Amino acid sequence: MKEYQLELFYDREKKKDELRKRRHVLVVPLDVVILVNIVAVFSIAVAFSLGVEKGKKIALQHNKKSNITLPVAESNENATMEKAVVTKEIPTRLTEKLKAKKEEEYIIQVASYLKEDIAHKEKEYLKKEGFSAQLSKKGKYIVLFVGKFLSKKEAERIKTLLKKRYGDCFIRRM
């Protein structure tokens, strides 16, 4: 009975033998793990903010190269404010996008075909009807397009005519 009771208690010799067998086990206290995570999050936040600051500097340099309107005070009696315009030849991205939008062209995608001969027949039919039709190969499909329209309204008007024969046609920007 006495031996059975001793088995229930902590046996230091067995524990030491187990530790000797598992020498390569790394034990890290929980507070150290938490501290390392806090330092990692803090360093990521600092790196991010430094990146944002660098981005701001780059953006300011880009804005200095583009068109800027600045108020300038004259030294006359009324001290009126006039605008001085500083212009450079380098346009901003926004003005490039606006110019591109003004010059946008629209096209109507009429249908897609797997067989090239059917696509050519439909193209010829549309040309006989007075439309400017083009074919384009997209992967394994041959896509039939109609026209180049400068306005979306004009493309919508032609699309309603084409909807009678080609129900799934739609307008795309070029």
Per-residue burial over 85-122, b if 16 or more Cβ lie within 10 Å, else e, is eeeeeeeeeeeeeeeeeeeeebbbbbbebeeeeebeeb
Give the whole-angstrom CA distance, residue 174 versus residue 168.
18
> What pLDDT, on the 0 to 100 scale, is given for residue 86?
45
Question: 134 or 58: which carries more pLDDT confidence?
Answer: 134
Give the whole-angstrom CA distance, residue 24 versus residue 168.
68
The residues spanned by each domain of the chain are 104-173
Beta bridge partners, 68, equal 86
Among the ranges given (24-28, 68-72, 99-103), the one the predictor scored with the smallest mean pLDDT: 68-72
The residue type found at 55 is G
Q: How far is CA 87 from CA 57, 63, 81, 100, 132, in A?
A: 20, 11, 19, 21, 42
Q: In this structure, are residues 66 and 90 in contact, taking their beta carbons and an 8 Å threshold?
A: yes
- Residues 33-45 have a mean pLDDT of 95
Among the ranges given (39-48, 52-61, 76-85, 134-143), the one the predictor scored with the smallest mean pLDDT: 76-85
> What pLDDT, on the 0 to 100 scale, is given for residue 73?
44
For 92-148, what is each residue's pLDDT tens digit? 566 665 565 556 789 999 999 999 999 999 999 999 989 999 999 999 999 999 988
Give the whole-angstrom CA distance, residue 162 versus residue 129.
11
> What pLDDT, on the 0 to 100 scale, is given for residue 103?
64
CATH number of 104-173: 3.30.70.1070
Question: 35 or 66: which carries more pLDDT confidence?
Answer: 35
The helix (run of H) or strand (run of E) holding residue 23 is none
Residue 130 DSSP code: T
> What pLDDT, on the 0 to 100 scale, is given for residue 53?
86
